[in-house]
């Protein structure tokens, strides 16, 4: 491979080559790049369209609402009008920056439940069950319990990804956990350990006051090696010679060039861009490709399908005491918090403010949690644009296993045109019923005695919203994406016509090409997607290098003994 370490500028050699060419420097791509280049035997090029992740908007945890709304850092995708959400188009932020979406996300760290990955294996992703992925979560973690307790037997303590807990100084964080227990849902000291179910502290990828993105954890240290380069450019398509991938066509500096891959091309470009790149390269639903004049190399009808996401709404309550973050939600307050963070990496700026959480079951007969709650001591939109007047707090709540499925499709044959994204949110009756239960569970928690010293009127949905039809209408008008798109290059058996990659992450029907990111998830896991996406990068790296998988960890996750009879603990 020509050249040395670091980031390649807009000019340079016309013909770059490496053993492995990775498209995307996000959660999975950064982990892949670090592991593939680790022993120095292989050269790696990472293609990233976005620029540097330096600067306070990305690195300050409390500023999380800014980068995902900045065109400098975000691809700017949006869904097509969603019939199940009153025709609204929902934003679909994806990171266009070093570190990808791990540099613009909410920094929430959730492995997912072991049963999620058991389900992957049942769907044909052999070797991806809960016991098989657990050692990869352990390998990637550097877990700090912060003196709050936790499940050390399940956690890793020497990986590159620092995982911490917020200080939970605000009494509302503790009221939330106590209220969950009062409602009968139980507690958990570590939802990333043996017991996910219950109310307890939330974890975040923040270290020493800074966002600990995949770029900070994996890519930046690896960029110091002589065998890894990051190339700034827009990936347009995979270059195929017959049925074999040999490189990636990119645009940089106004010039089209090809980066050659001696061994393999690996797409880690997101659940939106990875299927788009496959289709632009002739791999996908044959009729769709032919309609755009793209020659079909491998007719894989599953490419772009199986699109899933988490939806959530904010149940907001007024607060009767001046203890929320509202008093900091002004220019002076933000300036003081920003200055404290800038000089000391401490204070409000050093936390994403999601410091308590819950995972519960929606009804009897559900064996592990299917509703997630985030708690935050202010009533405000996730994008930071619309704070409620006065003091307030809110629960972000939504179902974790929606049955609706959507698709990413090509809008045109132009490789630089954005694809069309249709989630088909709320298109099944089960999803409507599950969301109704989620909203009512959040309201029930807020009505518990633990919140009595703080509880004012309900801001949203509001006292007038009570019946099933009223709750349904509220959800359709106010639900927002939790920004967890996945599933569009589904992993499965090689003989499954709907699968896109096999359990070794190899694209079925071609050679020298893999996909390793959230697009290969057969079904969306229970929680935020950064952690399982990094896990995919870790595990795929071992497969690519021909290493034996890490030995499985067969400790069983906690399942409520009475799950068949009740959604509550001991009821």
Burial bucket for residue 463 (CB in 10 Å: 0-12, 13-18, 19+):
exposed
Question: Apex CA 528: angle with CA 523 and CA 532, to 5°?
Answer: 65
Is 105 marked as a binding-site residue?
Answer: yes
- What's the per-residue H, E or C state across 352-416? CCCCEEEEECCCCCCCCCCEEEEEECCCCCCCCCCCCCCCEEEEEEEECCCCCCEEEECCCCCCC
**Residue given tokens 């939106």 in the structure block:** 272
Q: How far apart are the first and last CA of the chain?
A: 63
Please state, in angstroms and rounded to a whole number, the distance separating the CA atoms of residues 226 and 5.
Answer: 5
Token output for 511:
């050679």
Catalytic site residue 328? no
CA angle 568, 442, 473 (to 5 degrees): 125
Q: Which two tokens stand for residue 419?
A: 């694809």
User: Is the CB of residue 242 less than 8 Å from the CB of residue 232?
Assistant: no
Is 107 annotated for ligand binding? yes
Q: Is 265 annotated as a binding residue?
A: no
Is the bond leading into 461 cis (omega within 30 degrees of zero)? yes
Whether residue 97 is annotated as binding a ligand: the answer is yes
Alpha helix (H) ranges present in 196-280? 214, 220-222, 270-280
CA distance 63 to 338: 9
Tokens of 474: 């509220």
Residue 119: its H or E element: helix 114-122
Burial of 449 (0-12, 13-18, 19+ CB in 10 A): exposed
Answer yes or no: are the C-beta atoms of 239 and 258 closer than 8 Å. yes
Token code pair at residue 477: 């008008």
Catalytic residue among 162, 310, 396, 484: 484
Determine whether the annotation assigns residue 108 to a binding site. Answer: yes
Which residue numbers are catalytic? 484
As annotated, the binding site for FAD includes 97, 105-108
As annotated, the binding site includes 97, 105-108
């Amino acid at each position: 491979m020509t050249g040395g370490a670091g980031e390649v500028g807009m000019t340079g050699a016309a013909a770059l080559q490496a053993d492995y060419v990775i498209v995307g420097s996000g959660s999975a791509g950064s982990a892949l790049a670090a592991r593939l280049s680790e022993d120095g035997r292989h050269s790696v090029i990472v293609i990233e369209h976005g620029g540097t992740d330096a600067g306070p908007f990305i690195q300050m945890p409390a500023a999380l609402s800014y980068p995902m709304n900045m065109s400098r850092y975000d691809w700017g995708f949006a869904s097509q009008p969603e019939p199940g959400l009153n025709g609204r188009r929902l934003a679909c932020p994806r990171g266009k920056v070093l570190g990808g979406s791990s540099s613009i996300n909410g920094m929430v760290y959730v492995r997912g439940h072991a049963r999620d990955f058991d389900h992957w294996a049942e769907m044909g992703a052999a070797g991806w069950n809960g016991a098989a992925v657990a050692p990869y979560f352990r390998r990637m973690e550097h877990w700090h319990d912060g003196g709050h307790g936790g499940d050390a037997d399940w956690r890793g303590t020497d990986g590159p990804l620092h995982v911490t807990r917020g200080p939970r100084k605000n009494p509302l964080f503790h009221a939330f956990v106590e209220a969950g227990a009062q409602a009968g849902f139980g507690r958990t000291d570590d939802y990333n350990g043996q017991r996910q179910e219950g109310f307890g502290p939330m974890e975040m990828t923040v270290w020493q006051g800074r966002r600990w993105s995949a770029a900070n954890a994996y890519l930046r240290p690896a960029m110091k090696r002589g065998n890894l380069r990051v190339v700034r450019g827009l990936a347009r398509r995979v270059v195929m010679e017959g049925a074999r991938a040999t490189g990636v066509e990119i645009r940089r500096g106004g010039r089209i060039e090809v980066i050659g891959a001696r061994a393999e091309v690996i797409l880690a470009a997101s659940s939106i861009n990875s299927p788009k790149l496959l289709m632009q390269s002739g791999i996908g639903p044959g009729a769709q490709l032919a309609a755009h004049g793209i020659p079909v190399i491998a007719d894989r009808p599953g490419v772009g399908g199986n699109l899933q996401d988490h939806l959530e709404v904010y149940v907001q309550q007024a607060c009767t005491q001046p203890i929320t973050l509202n008093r900091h939600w002004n220019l002076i307050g933000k300036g003081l918090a920003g200055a404290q963070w800038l000089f000391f990496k401490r204070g409000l700026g050093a936390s994403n403010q999601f410091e308590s959480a819950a995972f519960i079951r929606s009804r009897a007969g559900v064996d592990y949690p299917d509703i997630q709650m985030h708690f935050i001591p202010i009533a405000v939109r996730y994008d930071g644009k619309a704070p409620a007047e006065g003091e307030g707090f809110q629960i972000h709540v939504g179902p974790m296993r929606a049955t609706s499925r959507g698709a990413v499709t090509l809008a045109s044959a132009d490789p630089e045109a954005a694809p069309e994204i249709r989630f088909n949110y709320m298109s099944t009756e089960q999803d409507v019923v599950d969301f109704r239960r989620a909203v009512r569970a959040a309201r029930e928690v807020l009505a518990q005695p633990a919140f009595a010293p703080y509880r004012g009127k309900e801001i949203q949905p509001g006292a007038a919203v009570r019946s099933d039809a009223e709750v349904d209408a509220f959800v359709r008008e106010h639900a927002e994406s939790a920004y967890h798109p996945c599933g569009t290059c589904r992993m499965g058996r090689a003989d499954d016509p709907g699968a896109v990659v096999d359990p070794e992450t190899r694209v079925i029907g071609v050679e020298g090409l893999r996909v390793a990111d959230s697009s290969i998830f057969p079904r969306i896991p229970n929680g935020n997607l950064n952690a399982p996406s990094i896990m995919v990068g870790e595990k795929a790296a071992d497969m690519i290098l021909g290493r034996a998988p890490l030995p499985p960890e067969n400790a069983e996750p906690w399942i409520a003994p009475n799950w068949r009879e009740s959604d509550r603990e001991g009821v």
